[in-house]
């Protein structure tokens, strides 16, 4: 008698991108999980045909499985508005993409799945369809009414973002004491709950070059970041910084922290992606369920050409299983 496999819910993301191909490839691994895709079954069948891979689909009935054969995938079916053409965006499918995220979020919040693993979406085509959308993280936070934080993790580095998808010109005004207290609180608790770190060490980057250089290159460090970090240290948090971003990632410093908080999207993610592009995982801390994702985009230029690499999605699925197991042990 096999123990029940953990149930992972998958959303392939943009139908014209590489997400559907990656989901099919994931089904052909020996990952010890019951894989369920919230997607159009015909979309997955067409992706499998392009990859020349067999695919066994059946509707998800909610029952647990003791084993899963390679190429086996269960589905929460949802029909595309328009058949996809790989590599070519179609705004008519934008509502479909958001409906997969809505159904997936609701199913995970209801406890029907152990975790959610998401493929890449294309924010531009969703907005072109007249639907305001800034990203998965913000969408799931609103849906769950949760205080969340984006954390990118590779094998040897974890990077969280104080701001996510903001224009660079809007970042300084967004770095407030209230935001820093909130995001550092979510990061601290997430590292404890999901990564088993009882007293996490967090390196906080400055906003300006050289962390402001005593106010000569900007005053945000002196006026906002340093006073906030000092107050949180008084509450028991182990915080380093603010550190200059250009030296914070050198090997000698990495041994002294468990995660980095960057002030904006492109301040630290190039470092993470340069060293772990094929294995990096996007994690949403603070949700009532585990959510992980690939750390790459839709790759429209290679969609449909059997060239997409599975590494990041496989890492995301493995990370989802690890984080879920750790949460279960802590309860």
Instruction: Please give the annotated binding residues for a divalent metal cation, written as ranges.
Output: 165, 210, 265
Q: Which residues of 302-330 are buried (b: 16+ CB within 10 A; e: fewer)?
A: bbbeeebebbbbbbbbbbbbbbbeeeeee
Feature table: binding site: 136-137, 165, 210, 265, 273, 282, 291
The DSSP secondary structure of 207-234, one letter per residue, reads: SSGGGGTTTTT-SHIIIIIHHHHHHHHH
CA distances from 87 to 23, 119, 225, 271 (A): 17, 15, 43, 28
Taking the C-alpha atoms of residue 91 and residue 94, their distance in angstroms, rounded to an integer, is 5
Feature table: binding site for substrate: 136-137, 273, 282, 291
Length of the chain: 331
**Which stretch of DSSP H or E encloses residue 104?**
helix 94-109
User: How many C-alpha atoms does 205 have within 13 Å on its Cβ side?
Assistant: 26
């Amino acid at each position: 008698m096999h123990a029940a496999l953990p149930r992972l819910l998958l959303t392939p993301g943009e139908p014209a991108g590489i997400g559907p191909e990656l989901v099919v490839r994931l089904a052909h691994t020996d990952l010890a999980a019951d894989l369920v895709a919230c997607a159009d079954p015909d979309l997955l069948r067409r992706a499998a045909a392009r990859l020349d891979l067999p695919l066994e689909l059946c509707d998800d009935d909610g029952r647990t499985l003791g084993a899963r054969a390679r190429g086996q995938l269960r589905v929460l079916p949802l029909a595309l508005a328009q058949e996809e053409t790989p590599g070519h965006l179609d705004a008519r499918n934008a509502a479909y993409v958001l409906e997969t995220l809505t159904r997936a979020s609701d199913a995970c919040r209801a406890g029907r799945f152990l975790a959610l693993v998401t493929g890449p979406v294309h924010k531009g085509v969703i907005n072109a369809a007249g639907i305001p959308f800034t990203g998965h993280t913000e969408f799931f936070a609103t849906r769950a009414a949760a205080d969340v934080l984006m954390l990118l993790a590779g094998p040897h580095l974890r990077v969280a973002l104080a701001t996510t998808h903001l224009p660079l010109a809007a970042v300084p005004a967004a770095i407030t004491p209230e935001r820093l207290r909130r995001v550092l609180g979510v990061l601290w608790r997430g590292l404890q709950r999901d990564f088993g770190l009882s007293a996490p060490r967090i390196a906080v980057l400055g906003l300006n070059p050289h962390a402001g250089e005593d106010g000569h290159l900007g005053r945000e460090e002196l006026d906002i970041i340093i006073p906030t970090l000092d107050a949180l240290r008084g509450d028991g948090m182990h915080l380093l910084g603010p550190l200059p971003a250009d030296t914070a990632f050198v090997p000698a410093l990495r041994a002294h922290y468990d995660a980095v908080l960057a002030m904006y999207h492109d301040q630290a993610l190039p470092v993470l992606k340069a060293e772990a592009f094929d294995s990096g995982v996007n994690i949403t801390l603070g949700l009532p369920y585990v959510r992980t994702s690939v750390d790459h985009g839709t790759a429209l230029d290679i969609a449909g050409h059997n060239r997409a690499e599975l590494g990041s999605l496989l890492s995301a699925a493995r990370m989802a299983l690890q984080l879920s197991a750790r949460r279960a042990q802590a309860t």
